[in-house]
Every structure is written in structure tokens, then in C-alpha cells.
Structure 1
Amino acid sequence: MLDVLVFYVPIDDTKSVLRDLFETGAGVVGEYRECAFVSRGMGQFRPVDSANPTIGSVGALEHVPENRVEISFPREIQKHVLETLYASHPYEEPTYHVIRNAAHDHD
């Protein structure tokens, strides 16, 4: 069963994060490898309190050109995929979603 990881990353860091996720076994769909959907947008955030932001400063609203990345992965490697995302991502707190796919027949 393939689930989907969706995350947001600064444009310049996208390739390296994807490379690390591909090494975990994410991005495999049947006989295809290194599959991902990437779209550009503008992220915003305001670091507060004891944050240690990679970009910007505590208290200031930041706007950062980012990519939204969607990548499939086998459900059984989810823990490893998320550990890799945290280790590879430049942000102190990466924003992500895991979309759990329902089982279905391929008739």
C-alpha cells in the first residue's frame, strides 16, 4: 500500500531533500523510480519565543519561495521516511502531511 508524503521546502533545498527520500525507498510507483510532484508557491511563518529559524528572525513575519512536494512511499517505511525528512530538511520544524490511501482493487 502506497501512502503520500506532502511537505514544503525552500526551492534551493528541494533536490537534496528528494534525493535523501528517494534513498529510503520513497518515490517508487510500480516500475518507476524517483517519482514526485513539485509545485511552487509562497510559504509564510513567524518564528516565536525560543525558535531557532533557519531563515528570518524571531518575531518577524517571513515569506519564502517554497516548493510543495508530493511523494508516494510504501506504508511500512513511513517511520524511516519521516526520520529522513527531519534529518534532511533545512527547517527546524518542517511542515508535512501524510495522506493514508485506502485499499482498492485494480480491476
Structure 2
Amino acid sequence: MSELTYKLCFYVPESHVEQVKNAVFAAGAGHIGNYDCCAFQVRGEGQFRPLDGSQPFLGQQGQVEVVAEYRVETIVTGAHLHAAISALRLAHPYEEPAIDLFRLEPLPE
């Protein structure tokens, strides 16, 4: 039985995309076969409104902020999952980074 594999997807402002990717890769994510630092990224716009009690990296409380962000997808095995997510959170500038995690099924032979 092969190890569980996950697709880790996160959204990061353009200013920090390389920093966050490098932290996630250093924690063991992004390996596919004989390749490392594997990822897909696409640029778009994210929006959010900081509420009372927040400490936003960008924007002001009560005001909707729209920012250029990248959606980054990479692969991570179960053995590196916690380290990769921890590294992502430490390197990410946002107080509450948006993170999606999908467990992948093995491809049919």
C-alpha cells in the first residue's frame, strides 16, 4: 500500500509567493518522482474584510481589500504534511491564510 498523498493549495499575495513556496518545499512538499519544487500557480485577485480584533497584513478593519494573489497547488505526502502546513503558516504574511487540502486517490495502473 502506498503512502497517502495530498494536494496542498494555498493563496498568497504576489509579494510573498516565492518565500512561501520555498518554505513549503523545504518542509518536504513538491516531490513528484525524480522532481522536486513541483507546483502549479495562477495569478488572480483575492478579497477580504478585516473584522474587529484582526491584525491585517494588508487593509484596514471594516474595509474590503482586494489584492493580487497567487493560487499555488503542490503535492505533499502524509509524512511531510504537518511540517509543510506549519512552514506555510510561518512564512505566510496573513494572520489567517486560506489553505485547501485534498487527499488524492492513487491513479489506476
Q: State the TM-score, normalized to the length of structure 1.
A: 0.94
Residues of 2 paired with 1:71 and 1:103: CA distance?
Answer: 16
* 2:13 is aligned with 1:13: no
Structure 1 partner of 2:106? 103
Match of 2:59 in 1: 56
Aligned equivalents of 1:18, 1:49: Cα separation in 2: 30
**Which ranges in structure 1 are unaligned for 5 or more consecutive residues?**
none
- CA deviations over 1:46-70 (Å, ceiling 9, x no partner): 0001000000010000000000000
Structure 2 matches for 1:80-91, cutoff 5 A?
Answer: 80-91=83-94
The alignment partner of 2:104 has SS state of: coil
| Partner residue in 2 for 1:3 | 6
How is 1:15-54 mapped onto 2 (pairs within 5 angstroms)? 15-54=18-57
Post-superposition Cα deviations, 1:56-94, rounded to whole Å, max 9, x if no partner, equal 010000000000000101122211111111100000000
Deviation at 1:103, TM superposition (A): 3.3
State yes or no: 1:72 paired with 2:84. no
The one-letter code of the counterpart of 1:51 is S
- Give the alignment's Cα RMSD to 1 decimal: 1.0
Quick one: distance in 2 between partners of 1:31 and 1:2?
16
Q: Provide the C-alpha distance between the structure 2 equivalents of 1:75 and 1:20, rounded to a whole number of angstroms.
A: 17
CA distance in 2, matches of 1:72, 1:42: 23
Q: Distance in 2 between matches of 1:100 and 1:2?
A: 6
TM-score by length of 2: 0.93
Give unpaired runs (5+ residues) of structure 2: none
Flag as ranges the 4+ runs of structure 1 deviating above 3 A: none
